Structure 1
């Protein structure tokens, strides 16, 4: 995993958009992100350990490819790239391929781009504004973990999400309050 500030230059969202300004692990931790690098071979015990420690009870696998999604591919990619939050943590363990998670730094509101690769396990806290896109490989397969029943409900950024209780809890958890 590599994290840096997004350059905000218009163009293909799947390009790196690297501003050459790296983001430290301390900065990621300060906004509530967690990350592990777990090799794909023999990973199950470590994944199970993280799942047990964080209370994840369910899991499934998601594959995002042109071949797998067919005509829905471009629509799905555009939807994933809409700025949104979830009322649950978003947990992804990358099994194949790669992509970018962009998260909002608070209080600056700057985008931080996180390039995830095979073996990366990333946890985005509930209430953080973020978006996702593939990189130019155009494919990713990830294990998704859930605390309860699998669900993935995006709440696009708006005045309503700014006052959503999960958003407010997130802001309090990183020490900025509402």
Structure 2
């Protein structure tokens, strides 16, 4: 099951867990209610044959996918890319990632503007809503292979903070105030 916790304020290596003292974990329900982040656990080995991935794709309208490998050996301009992934930003569309191999962290802001760190491992499918401030980093293993899913043509454009005047951000804040109902 996915693990999520509130982060400390340390500026140490971004690839570390960054727990508060004492650690403060969140349940999936708490995280979803406060951030709108959705989560499924699938088997990377059987999700294609058992139909579980196709059902999510169909239910949510995901029509395009590709696979990305993030590691020093696999990703051109690795250091630059990893640094850009860790810049706090929003997207105008959902960000959907299904972890096939490896591991990493998605950090999202809660309603009080605090960082929540979400650990992702193989089988985790995470949906970050459009307009949520977030960032991504690898963990100390320096490797992740993930499927990226999109509604229609892929849009990867990050809008770095501050982006509070963007329509996607304003809509997200309104939905957050209504507990994503």
- TM-score where L is the length of structure 1: 0.94
Match 2:31 to one of 6, 14, 28: 28
Q: Does 1:145 align with 2:139?
A: no
| Gap runs ≥5 in structure 2 | none
Q: Does 1:58 align with 2:61?
A: no
Which contiguous aligned blocks of 4+ residues in structure 1 show a shift greater than 3 angstroms? none
Q: What pairs with 1:22-171 in structure 2 (closer than 5 Å)?
A: 22-30=25-33, 31-44=35-48, 45-70=51-76, 72-106=77-111, 108-158=112-162, 161-171=163-173
CA shift, 1:28, in A, is 1.3
- TM-score where L is the length of structure 2: 0.92
| Gap runs ≥5 in structure 1 | none
Counterparts of 2:138 and 2:61, CA distance in 1:
28
CA shift, 1:90, in A, is 0.3
Counterparts of 1:5 and 1:16, CA distance in 2:
10
